[in-house]
Every structure is written in structure tokens, then in C-alpha cells.
Amino acid sequence: MKKLAEVLKDWEAVIGLEIHTELTALNTKMFCDCKLSHTDPPNTNVCPVCLGMPGALPVPNQKAIEAIVMAGLATNCKIQPRSYFYRKHYFYPDMSKNFQTTQGPVAFCMYGRLDLEVRGQGAMERPDFTIKKEVDGSYVAPIQILRIHMEEDAAKMVHVGGVDGRIASASKSLIDYNRCGAPLIELVTKPDLRTPEEARLFMEQLRQVFLTLGISDCSLEHGSMRCDGNVSVRRRGDHRLGTKTEIKNLNSFKSLHDALEYEIRRQAEVLEGGGIIRQETRHWEPSKRRTVTMRVKETADDYRMYPDPDLAPFDLSQAFVDYCRARVPELPAAKRDRYVAAYGLRHRDASQIAGDPTTAQFFENAARLAPESVATVANIVINMIPATERVTEAQVASLATLLSQDAITFAQAREVLELVDGTHKDPQTVVDEQGMRQSTDANALATTVDEVLARCADQVRQYGEGNKKVIGYLVGQCMKASKGTGNPKRFNQLLKERLEN
């Protein structure tokens, strides 16, 4: 098969996503008061309602409605004043009442938009010029959201002895009804995405919004956020939609990206060979890095959808929507813009910090303690502290101050972080204890610089010929010669003075 970049010259990929998010932040299920838990022993959180016993009546969880309205407001959806719950009928043991309660044509949230930011390497995947790119190649693509609807999750099934978790090859299947009836929101996009990278970023940026709202832990690994990818291809310039396939089992950002890439290349190859694409559901096999047919869709599935007679039409008052709006916190995009404007952070760094609410909170607290060194705080947060480390905001603030005073180097800062990790020690004290403070003794530094220049005649000549980059090498030599005690910034200054004269 051809490479993706090659394929995308002739073909345009059209992608729409269906993203399920379980509202794990809630305490109870969607229509009963059973506890919501991923860790309790199987089938311990069940009752007549979520087991689908005849006659048991559902009671909607108000917290779940609040969460979906917040999700809708955060993605510019129109909140519907009246919407309905439907019954979607099917037979499978993961839903013992034989229908799933979900929403029909009118969902709580309709017609939204998420402005997708595409930067860096990923921005290069999109070869067409219908999109306005910035100088650095980045762009913003408005992705329309068709709807976000509320539904209940099905039970979790484990197919023992099967291949890739599929039932066909299993020797037996186990069911855990703890998940049955869990509150789930499904977001459906219009087919507005054009590359696998855009799809991946959409999922990532939506995840950041939902994390910031605090409605779910959004764990792809544990299945609280799940995605189906719909994809078709068409000749560039063609405005009709091609026949799509739907890919299931995309349980990581990488699977989502790689499965779409594979499927785009496969479809283009089939069409170039004169074949046709069947509308079907396909399964991503991560081990073989390919998609395979799961079931062919010849006719629309008939779920006998009708409004649930046990649940009245849902009227949302303006007061309720306003109440939800007041609970929507500052969202990642606004936070990012504020960091750029208020602290002068680089756009990319600001995005990275603003994307994760825990990191953002940590950064802001540390920045407040070191207002003179906010850019350095950001640098430490991004480059030095993986989430698992137990470093405090005060320690980061103190370290940032040391760095901006040139008292230590970045390499030393890493060491200091390791030394204070899990303790309440102040980095300033550690630096003094370890004798790390950098020599700012001008004479000592000058001697080192002269030594290095004397033995690096080659680089000195190159610098003279206009290759200014060799100064990096010379600074490195000075650092080595001073055994890391000299300050690289000062070395750089001194070297420049010498070389320019």
C-alpha cells in the first residue's frame, strides 16, 4: 500500500467520530441509585432497575443531566428546551432488559462546535489549501458537533479464551452488570475531520475539555472514554461523500490514528483497483496493525426506537441551564490564551499546561509563589515533573527562582528535583548543602574560556566564517572544563565577547 502522504495527494479523507464518555465523576448510575464503581467485585452494584426486572421504574440522575448540559455548553451546543429518552431494542446479554435507554432524534445538546488546533508535525499531513495556515504551518479547523446525547452503558463482558476479546472464538463469556446502567454521554461529530492526526487531536482536545469540566476521568485505558471512527475517501475536488466504514475498538490515541491511517490507505487502494467500498463495521487489530471486517451493513439496523413510556419528555428550564453554565470552569483554550497574554508563555507550552487541569492548577500556584520567574516555572512543569513525582508547588517556585538567577544550570535543577522529591526540603537549602551554586567568579570563567578557545582553533575559524552555531559546542566545552560549575549563560556571553573582537 502507498504511504498516507502519497494517498492524500489524490484522495481526501472524510472522518466523523462517535465518542462515548462515562460520567465516572458521578456517585450513582443513570436511572437507579446503584453505586458507580470500576473496582468493586463483579455484580455487586445491581438492582431491579439496572438488571431490567419487569415493572422496575427508572428515575433519571440529575447530576448526569447537569454534566451533559455542561458538556454541551463547553462545546457550543444548543441546549434543547425539550428532549426525550427512547428505547433502542436489541437482544444481547449485556443489557438484560433487551433495550437500551438512549435519546432519539432530539438530544439534550445539538449542533455544537469545537475549534481544533493543529500544530507541528501533524499540520503537515493536510496538503489542501482550503484551510488557512499560520506562518508556522499550524491551523484551526472548526469541527461541527451534531449532538451529544445521554444514554446508559451496557454490562461489561469478558470473552474467555478468545482472540482480541472477540466473542466468536471464545469458549465462554462472563458478564459484570456493575457497568450496566452507568451514565454515558455520546458525542457525534459531523464528517469534518480530514486526517488521522486531526481525529487524534479532536479526541485529545475533547478529553481536555471533559477533564476540565470534571465530569469523567476520561481514561481510554480503562474504557471510560471510547471512540468509533467513521471514514470514507473521495477524489480531491469531489464534493459527494464516499461510502464509509466504521471502525470499532479504538482504545488509545495511537489506535485511533493508526486504524484511520490504515483504513484510508486501504480504501484508496480498493478504489484505485476498480473495486467498491462496502458499508461495514470493521475491527482494529492492533497486533497485526490492520482492520478486518466485523459485520457488513446491508440495511439500516431496525432497533424499533420509540419514546420510553416510563420517562416523561425532559424539559430543561432556563434557570437550570444558567445554573449549569455558572458551573462551567475556565476551559483549556481560554486558559491557554490567558497564559500567553499574562505570562508571555509560548503558545505550545501554554496549550500543554492548560490541557490538563491538575497541571494547570499546579502551575498557577507555583507561578503565584515565583511571580518573577513564571516562564521558568512553566519550563520546569513541562520538562521536569512527570505527574508521578511528589514535588510541591513551593519547591518548583524556589527552583525557578534559582534558575532565573543563574545560580544553577538546568542539569543541576534536575538533580535538585530528584533530591527534594517526596520531602519538604527547600531547593535553596539543597543547592547550598551540595555546594552546587555556580561560580560567577569572572576571573575563573575567563580562564576557562581562554583555555577552550586556545584548543578549539577549528571552531573559532568556523565562527569567523559565519557559522555562529558552533558557539553551542564551545559553551559545552567550557561546561566540561569547569566540571559543570560554570554558568552556561555567562560562558556564552564571554565567548561572544572574545569571538566578536
Binding site for ligand ADP (CB under 6 A): 14-18, 188-191, 230-232, 241-242, 244
**Nearer to Zn ion among residue 97 and residue 194 (C-beta):** 97
**Nearer to ligand ADP among residue 19 and residue 417 (C-beta):** 19
Residues 253-282 that bind Zn ion (CB under 5 A): none
d(CA 478, CA 499) in angstroms, rounded, equals 14
Shortest Å distance, C-beta 345 to Zn ion? 47
Q: Interior CA angle at 21 toward 312 and 49, to 5°?
A: 45
d(CA 41, CA 177) in angstroms, rounded, equals 10
Shortest Å distance, C-beta 31 to Zn ion? 8
Order of all β-strands in the sheet with 85-89: 99-103, 85-89, 306-307
Q: Report how far apart the first and last C-alpha atoms of the chain are (Å, whole number).
A: 58
- Residue nearest ligand ADP, Cβ-based: 16
d(CA 22, CA 179) in angstroms, rounded, equals 10
d(CA 256, CA 203) in angstroms, rounded, equals 9
Q: Which of ligand ADP, Zn ion, none binds 122 (CB below 5-8 Å, type-dependent)?
A: none
> Residue 400: left if φ>0, alpha if ψ -120 to 50, beta else—which one?
alpha
What's 70-105 look like in SS3?
Answer: HHHHHCCCEECCEECEEEEECCCCCCCCCEEEEECC
Reduce the DSSP state of residue 403 to 3 states and report it: helix
**Nearer to Zn ion among residue 33 and residue 415 (C-beta):** 33
Q: Which of ligand ADP, Zn ion, none binds 459 (CB below 5-8 Å, type-dependent)?
A: none
Q: Binding to Zn ion by residue 47, rule CB under 5 A?
A: yes
**Nearer to ligand ADP among residue 29 and residue 265 (C-beta):** 265
Query: What angle in degrees, to the nearest 10, is found between the helix axes of 393-404 and 410-420?
Result: 160
Which ranges constitute the DSSP H helices of 223-356?
Answer: 253-272, 318-326, 332-343, 347-354
**Nearer to Zn ion among residue 59 and residue 341 (C-beta):** 59
Q: Which of Zn ion, ligand ADP, none binds 17 (CB below 5-8 Å, type-dependent)?
A: ligand ADP
Shortest Å distance, C-beta 85 to Zn ion? 17
Cβ neighbours of residue 476 closer than 8 Å, sequence gap 6 or more? none
Beta-bridge partner residues of 140: 117
**Nearer to ligand ADP among residue 131 and residue 442 (C-beta):** 131
Beta-bridge partner residues of 307: 86
Cβ neighbours of residue 246 closer than 8 Å, sequence gap 6 or more? 228, 229, 230, 280, 281, 282
**Nearer to Zn ion among residue 65 and residue 396 (C-beta):** 65
Q: Which of ligand ADP, Zn ion, none binds 366 (CB below 5-8 Å, type-dependent)?
A: none
Shortest Å distance, C-beta 332 to ligand ADP? 23
DSSP 215-247: S----TTTTSEEEEEEEEEEETT--S----EEE
Q: Which of ligand ADP, Zn ion, none binds 47 (CB below 5-8 Å, type-dependent)?
A: Zn ion
Q: Interior CA angle at 225 toward 220 and 228, to 5°?
A: 100
The one-character DSSP state at 23 is -
Q: What mask, x for binding Zn ion by CB under 5 A, covers residues 352 to 371?
A: --------------------
CB-based contact 363:396 (threshold 8 Å): no
- Which stretch, 25-33, 297-305, 312-320, 367-375, contacts Zn ion (CB under 5 A)? 25-33
Shortest Å distance, C-beta 333 to ligand ADP? 22
Q: Binding to Zn ion by residue 32, rule CB under 5 A?
A: yes
Q: Which of Zn ion, ligand ADP, none binds 231 (CB below 5-8 Å, type-dependent)?
A: ligand ADP
Exposure string for 119-158, b = 16+ CB within 10 A, e = fewer? beebbebbeeeeeeeeeeeebebebebbbbbbbbbbbbbe
Q: Binding to Zn ion by residue 34, rule CB under 5 A?
A: yes
Shortest Å distance, C-beta 128 to ligand ADP? 17
Shortest Å distance, C-beta 266 to ligand ADP? 14
Q: Binding to Zn ion by residue 50, rule CB under 5 A?
A: yes
Q: Binding to Zn ion by residue 56, rule CB under 5 A?
A: no
Shortest Å distance, C-beta 97 to Zn ion? 12
- Which stretch, 41-49, 271-279, 362-370, 440-448, contacts Zn ion (CB under 5 A)? 41-49
Q: Which of Zn ion, ligand ADP, none binds 50 (CB below 5-8 Å, type-dependent)?
A: Zn ion
Shortest Å distance, C-beta 464 to ligand ADP? 59
Q: Binding to Zn ion by residue 19, rule CB under 5 A?
A: no
Q: Which of ligand ADP, Zn ion, none binds 126 (CB below 5-8 Å, type-dependent)?
A: none
Shortest Å distance, C-beta 240 to ligand ADP? 9
- The binding site for Zn ion (CB under 5 A) comprises 32, 34, 47, 49-50
